Amino acid sequence: MGHTSWRYTEMKIFVYGTLRTGGRFSNLLPENKKTSIYTIHGLRMYNLLVVDFPGVIKTNNSKDYVVGELQEYDLTAIEENALLSLLDQVECVDQGLFKRSIITLSTGDKVWIYEFNRFDEVKYRLKMEGKSPKIVHDWATVDHSICTTIDK
């Protein structure tokens, strides 16, 4: 009887902010990965909170896009589950801040992504303060020393 949990499979994840190489939480990810810069249309990224982290939502509008990093891992099923569990904790999935989903790239490849799950709540709060969330296309180009997260 074979052990399917020991077989290696390719896992792909699209990261766009603090998990990108060099990002604040990138050290949590395994180093044995292949990375490439990738642009996905139909997504919009916001720098929403004063703690300076991004959130992506699906818009299905081809004019919206996010530049991020496509990370590819060769992992066993056990390793993949452990990595996704860790990322769920980092992204506060159990608290409803982000949700993990699968999207299909233009190549047909399916990848994991973490979508911001409280956009309407945050947008409403900011609207009450006369502000709006700031749209960002590429987190690597944001000046994080200023932490200007809201357009007035």
Cα 44 from Cα 82, distance rounded (Å): 28
pLDDT tens across 116-131, in order? 998 888 878 778 888 7
Mean pLDDT for 85-107 is 94
- With the C-alpha atoms ordered 123, 127, 128, 130, is the resulting torsion angle positive or negative? positive
- Domains, the chain, ranges and CATH? 4-151 (3.10.490.10)
Q: Tokens at residue 90, please?
A: 């980092």
Are the CB atoms for 51 and 119 separated by under 8 Å? no
pTM given for the model = 0.84
86 Cβ contact partners less than 8 Å away, ≥ 6 residues apart: 28
Q: Is residue 40 predicted with pLDDT exceeding 70?
A: yes
- Taking the mean position of all CA atoms in its chain, how far away is CA 58? 12
For residue 151, the model assigns a pLDDT of 42
Cα 10 from Cα 102, distance rounded (Å): 14
DSSP-assigned letters across all residues of 13-72: EEE-STTSTTSTTGGGS-S--EEEEEEEETEEEEE-STT--EEEEE---TT-EEEEEEEE
- Taking the mean position of all CA atoms in its chain, how far away is CA 34? 17
Q: Is residue 50 predicted with pLDDT exceeding 90?
A: no
Residue 16: count of CB within 10 angstroms of its CB: 25
Cα 5 from Cα 70, distance rounded (Å): 24
